[in-house]
Amino acid sequence: LAKTTQPISMDSYEGQEVNITCSHNNIATNDYITWYQQFPSQGPRFIIQGYKTKVTNEVASLFIPADRKSSTLSLPRVSLSDTAVYYCLVGPFEQAGTALIFGKGTTLSVSS
Amino acid sequence: EAGVTQFPSHSVIEKGQTVTLRCDPISGHDNLYWYRRVMGKEIKFLLHFVKESKQDESGMPNNRFLAERTGGTYSTLKVQPAELEDSGVYFCASSPLAGGSSTDTQYFGPGTRLTVL
């Protein structure tokens, strides 16, 4: 599975837009990009997934350039409750049973 | 719909004892995964079941760990005998995909915190 690199931590104020970029230079043709969010004392939670271009859901947007070597998770108008660790994962998620490989993630701290 | 549940939420045992962790996946999910995070490290894959069959147990650290999923419903992960380095948080996840055209999304439980003294 492709290795990913993302910032260790980010700080933001409430109401700001937060963009977390993930590098995955060795992404394979059949790999998807997935982001998980983890709150303290909870398991990771799927938030968004994409293959190319842009994906948007009620939680976030995911921007993927044409070369797919990076991706950016965008959280609009963050609140205190968005404080969490965000993981970028890359893999052939079209196949069931793909073991998720987590890195250190990006710890986002939102303050008022 | 109930999510993935795990029991217990926290277990404290002494070195050499046995502990059994339980995971109840989302109803109807054929795929069940175990992961763990030991102190200061990343979350690591342990194994994957499809129904009652082990598909991939490449992440199991050693033969002190035994996972079962009898009947293809809930799963247990037994550690016997427990060692200090087994301390960490054990997560279970499940996904519905067993073939098909959708991508596989894994739903995680809250984890079981294991402390070995």
Structure tokens at B11: 């277990």
Q: Is A40 on the interface with B (CB under 8 A)?
A: no
Which 3-state string (H, E, C) describes B14-72? Answer: CCCCCEEEEEECCCCCCEEEEEEEECCCCEEEEEEEECCEEEECCCCCCCCEEEECHHH
Question: Which residue on chain B is closest to A31 by alpha carbon?
Answer: B103
- Whether the CB of A39 is below 8 Å from some CB of chain B: the reply is no
Interface test with B, best of A94, A100, A106 (most B CBs within 10 A): A100
**Interacting residues of A21 by C-beta distance below 8 A, sequence separation 6+:** A6, A7, A70, A71, A72, A73
Mutate to test the interface with B, among A93, A95, A101 (most CBs of B within 10 A): A93
Q: How far is A57 from chain B (nearest CA, A)?
A: 15
Q: Is residue B13 within 8 Å of residue B83, measured between CB atoms?
A: no
Buried b (16+ CB within 10 A) or exposed e, A50-85: beeeebeeeebbbbbeeebebbebbbeebeeebbbb
Backbone angles phi and psi of B22, in degrees to 5:
-120, 145
Question: Per the CB < 8 Å rule, is A32 touching B103?
Answer: yes
The answer to whether residue A107 scores a pLDDT higher than 90 is: yes
At B70 the pLDDT is 86
Judge: A101–B48 Cβ closer than 8 Å, yes or no. Answer: no
Query: What does the pLDDT look like over A61-97, one tens digit per residue?
Result: 999 999 999 999 999 999 999 999 999 999 888 777 7
Average pLDDT, chain B: 92
pLDDT tens digits for B41-66? 999 999 999 999 999 999 999 999 99
B97 → closest Cβ in A32, A96, A101:
A96
User: Average of pLDDT values for B2-31?
Assistant: 96
The structure tokens listed for A36 are: 């998980």
How far is Cα B63 from Cα B55, in angstroms, rounded to an integer?
17
Contacts 24+ apart (CB under 8 A), A57-66: A60/A35, A62/A33, A62/A35, A64/A33
Q: Is the pLDDT of residue A99 over 60?
A: yes
Contact A68, A27 (CB under 8 A): yes
Return d(Cα B51, Cα B61) in angstroms, integer: 22
A86 interfacial to chain B (CB closer than 8 Å): no
Could you tell me how many residues make up chain B? 117
Q: What is the pLDDT of residue B1?
A: 64
Residue B14 has pLDDT above 60, yes or no: yes
- B14/chain A closest Cα distance in angstroms: 23
Q: Identify the weakest region by mean pLDDT among A76-85, A98-107, B9-18.
A: A98-107
Q: pLDDT-based confidence at A2, cuts 50/70/90?
A: low
- Please, which pLDDT band fits residue A102 given cuts at 50, 70 and 90? very high
pLDDT for residue B100 is more than 60: no
Q: Which two tokens stand for residue A34?
A: 């997935």
On the 0-12 / 13-18 / 19+ scale of CB atoms within 10 A, A36 is: buried
**Interface contact A104-B42, CB threshold 8 A:** yes
User: Which of B4, B42, B105 is opposite residue A102, by nearest beta carbon?
Assistant: B42
Question: Which band of pLDDT confidence, cut at 50, 70 and 90, is reported for residue B10?
Answer: very high
The answer, yes or no, to whether residue B20 has pLDDT greater than 80, is: yes
Q: How much is the pLDDT for A94?
A: 74
Flag if B33 and A99 touch (Cβ within 8 Å). Answer: yes
When mean pLDDT is compared over B1-5, B70-74, B75-79, the highest value belongs to B75-79
Q: Which of residues 29-68 of B touch A (CB under 8 A)?
A: 30-31, 33, 35, 42-45, 48, 50, 55-56, 58-59
- Determine the pLDDT at residue A1: 59
Assigned token pair, B2: 């109930």
